[in-house]
Amino acid sequence: MSLHAIQAEPLGSVEAIRDALPDFAKDIRLNLGNVLSEDGAPELTLKQIHHIALVSAYATRNVQLVGAVEAEVSTLSEAEIQATKAAATIMAMNNVYYRFVHLSNDAEFKTMPAKLRMNVIANPGVPKVDFELMSLAVSAINGCGMCIEAHAHELQKQGSSKLQIQSAIRIAATMNATAQALALR
């Protein structure tokens, strides 16, 4: 069976994804069973956990993982799902742009206006803290240090604890590793 055929096999639920993870991903299987619960993601609400899991799945671009998480986030309304998609999309753009600005050796780029529309950040359709948590998760997956710093700072300014921020990143890291394991099984 080809790798493409394996990736296309539907799994349907996060539990099915977890069960399908191979032995080399046992740690990821255990983490996936943990971080998507309120006990395993301290200081996050179930709705926030669902937002972060879904935006992280979108950021991985793994069709199986996206489908499984979409099937499980019944607490999210259609408007909240659209806000989650908006966070994944706007951060896909911002992470590339700001990672370039950050990594460039030319200081002039840091002073130039981005001239990119980012209106959804000001009016995301979900609580600002939830959108910031989603944006932070995508930024961590995409490896944009400048965006990670900005969103973590904004979250702390809005009263989020470091434990809440860490919980969001643990979800993002586990979802990213799950997508990797699915691609390699």
* Dist CA 59 CA 111 (whole Å): 28
* Dist CA 179 CA 82 (whole Å): 22
Among 54, 69, 138, 144, the one annotated catalytic: 144
Among 66, 137, 147, 155, the one annotated catalytic: 147
Q: Is 114 a catalytic residue?
A: no
| Alpha helices (runs of H) in the chain, residue ranges in sequence order | 3-8, 14-20, 26-35, 46-60, 63-72, 78-103, 108-111, 119-122, 128-142, 145-157, 162-184
Q: Is 128 a catalytic residue?
A: no
The length of the chain is 185
Which residue, among 65, 48, 81, 68, has the nearest Cα to 182 in the 3D structure?
A: 65
Active site residues: 144, 147
